[in-house]
Structure 1
Amino acid sequence: MNFSDVLKALNQASAFELFRMRAAINRVLDQPQWVDAVSGRLRVGQVVEYFDSQANAACQATIIELRRKQALVLDIATQTRWLISYASINLDGADVQIREQVRRGLGRNEVAVGEVLGFLDREQRERSGKVVRLNDKTVTLLCGGLRWRVAYALLHRVVDARAIEGEVLEIGVRNPEP
């Protein structure tokens, strides 16, 4: 499914139309055949990947208990117990990235908590930091011990893996040796 096209269509819908669509999707996901299709493939102790909509990222967890409509899991990274919907479990290894076709910057659905991203500060210096929170219109980045709130349109991917913890990057041209 092309999520970019779906998001484009959803952006043209009214709030009421989106609410009606969400209600319809929730009704379909609660149907027993969807729950049974997933829960039948799960076992206690199994490691699974699930989608965390708050972090907009895939997470790994161990199944602790299977309930009627949800699974109790232990998140491997945080060692936190969560009740998650069976529909959020990615049994088939589907790509969880939603790539919006945005002219400038990154889209809300292209950013995940824990990623390292960059931006230009007010003095036009290149900054980079780790995403600690996703807000509606901005991202909170931890750059060199300081928290920055940056609009999605101003963000870019960081190519230099050493550019973490708020380093100021110096980019230069190296002359090839003869």
Structure 2
Amino acid sequence: MKKILPALVPGFAVGVLQIVPMLKSFACCLLIPLAGFFSVTLYQKSTGSENKIGISKGIVLGLFTGIFAAVFTSLFEIFITLITKSNDLVLTYNELIKTMDSLPFDPALKQQVIDLMGSMKTEIQTTGFSLLYSFTIIFNNFLTNTIFGMIGGAIGAQYFNSRFKRNNDRE
């Protein structure tokens, strides 16, 4: 539990923050790496160790932070969509269609993508749930959150290792 809790706390916090519309834009590049960094901080405090933290340990802590963040973000996103019967796809559907029209793809392929997005939009507006949309959100969150969480964990481990080195050089 001591190894999971330092990743669970920042993962949950980022899961909550990723639902806030203005903060959602900063999630992958700022919030998730900070959560990975913070998980290394919590791990060091929970173990009470002043020793170096291996980069691999930081990466693993960041990975778990990203996994927890992805789980919580996906659950919150799906739950809010279920209640409100609206989400980013529903709100930006018309802009997505315009963007699709400007892309240099085969017209048949464009139409298939537009039809898929339209069916997801309709399902969300009528029932509040779309299996395809949910799968897409879960996949996207797991992919981006784990990658950026590992980056944050590695940066956190490197930061604490450099701090450890500076403290030992002074002695």
Q: State if a TM-score over 0.5 links the two structures.
A: no
Q: Structure 2 length normalisation: TM-score?
A: 0.25
Tell me which protein shows more strand as a share of its residues. Answer: 1
Tell me which protein shows more helix as a share of its residues. Answer: 2
